[in-house]
Structure 1
Amino acid sequence: MQTVYVNGDYLPKDEAKISVFDRAFLFADAVYEVTSVIGGKLVDFAGHMARLHRSLGELDIEPPVSDDEMLDIHRRLVAENAIEEGMIYLQVTRGTADRDFLFPEKDVRPNLVLFAQAKSLIDNPFVERGQKIVSMEDLRWRRCDIKTTQLLYASWAKSLAHADGADDAWLVRDGFITEGTSNNAYIVKEDGTIVTRQLSEDVLSGITRSAVLECARQLQMKVEERPFTVEEAKAAAEAFSTSASSFVNPVVEIDGSTIGNGAPGPVARRLREIYLEKSRAAAI
Structure 2
Amino acid sequence: MARTVYLNGEYLPETEASVSIFDRGFLMADGVYEVTSVLGGRLVDFAGHAKRLERSLNALDMKMPMTEEALLEIHRELVRRNDLEDGLIYLQVTRGAPGDRDFIFPDPATTPLTVVLFTQSKPNLADSPEAKRGLKVISIEDIRWGRRDIKTVQLLYPSMGKMMAKAAGADDAWMVEDGKVTEGTSNNAYIVKDGRIITRELSHDILHGITRAAVLRFAEEAQMKVEERSFTIEEAQAADEAFITSASSFVTAVIQIDGVTLGEGVPGPVAQRLRQIYLEESRARAV
**Map of 2:152 onto structure 1:** 148
The residue type paired with residue 184 of structure 2 is G
**Map of 1:101 onto structure 2:** 103
Using the TM superposition, give the Cα deviation of residue 82 of structure 1 relative to its aligned residue in structure 2, in angstroms: 0.5
Using the TM superposition, give the Cα deviation of residue 106 of structure 1 relative to its aligned residue in structure 2, in angstroms: 2.7
The residue type paired with residue 267 of structure 2 is P
**Map of 2:196 onto structure 1:** 193
The residue type paired with residue 125 of structure 1 is P
Between the aligned partners of 2:138 and 2:76, the Cα distance in structure 1 is 38
**Map of 2:136 onto structure 1:** 132
1:172 aligns to 2:171 (yes or no): no
**Map of 1:282 onto structure 2:** 285
Using the TM superposition, give the Cα deviation of residue 259 of structure 1 relative to its aligned residue in structure 2, in angstroms: 1.1
> What is the TM-score with the length of structure 2 in the denominator?
0.98
The residue type paired with residue 205 of structure 2 is D
**C-alpha deviations, 1:191-228, integer Å up to 9, x for none?**
21000000000100000000000111011111110000
**Map of 1:88 onto structure 2:** 89
What are the equivalent positions in structure 2 for 1:37-52 lying under 5 Å apart? 37-52=38-53
Secondary structure of 2:89's aligned partner: strand
Aligned match for 2:224, one of 221, 225, 243: 221
**C-alpha deviations, 1:236-268, integer Å up to 9, x for none?**
000000000100000000000011221100000
Between the aligned partners of 1:204 and 1:146, the Cα distance in structure 2 is 7
Between the aligned partners of 2:3 and 2:106, the Cα distance in structure 1 is 33
The residue type paired with residue 12 of structure 1 is P
The residue type paired with residue 55 of structure 1 is S
Between the aligned partners of 2:128 and 2:137, the Cα distance in structure 1 is 17
1:246 aligns to 2:249 (yes or no): yes
Between the aligned partners of 2:191 and 2:88, the Cα distance in structure 1 is 27
Q: Percent identity?
A: 63
Give 5+ residue unaligned stretches, structure 2.
none
1:256 aligns to 2:273 (yes or no): no
RMSD of aligned residue pairs (Cα, Å): 0.7
Give 5+ residue unaligned stretches, structure 1.
none
Between the aligned partners of 2:164 and 2:115, the Cα distance in structure 1 is 31
Between the aligned partners of 2:18 and 2:118, the Cα distance in structure 1 is 13
Between the aligned partners of 1:163 and 1:64, the Cα distance in structure 2 is 40
**Map of 2:16 onto structure 1:** 15
**Map of 1:30 onto structure 2:** 31
1:266 aligns to 2:265 (yes or no): no
1:160 aligns to 2:164 (yes or no): yes
Between the aligned partners of 1:12 and 1:152, the Cα distance in structure 2 is 27
Between the aligned partners of 2:97 and 2:215, the Cα distance in structure 1 is 38
The residue type paired with residue 63 of structure 1 is M
**Map of 2:121 onto structure 1:** 118
Secondary structure of 2:127's aligned partner: coil
**C-alpha deviations, 1:143-201, integer Å up to 9, x for none?**
00000001000000111101110000000000000000000000000x21000000000
Secondary structure of 2:273's aligned partner: helix
**Map of 1:5 onto structure 2:** 6
Secondary structure of 2:212's aligned partner: helix
**Map of 1:70 onto structure 2:** 71
Secondary structure of 1:101's aligned partner: coil
**Map of 1:209 onto structure 2:** 212
Between the aligned partners of 1:127 and 1:148, the Cα distance in structure 2 is 27
Using the TM superposition, give the Cα deviation of residue 128 of structure 1 relative to its aligned residue in structure 2, in angstroms: 1.6
Poorly superposed stretches of 4+, deviation over 3 Å: none
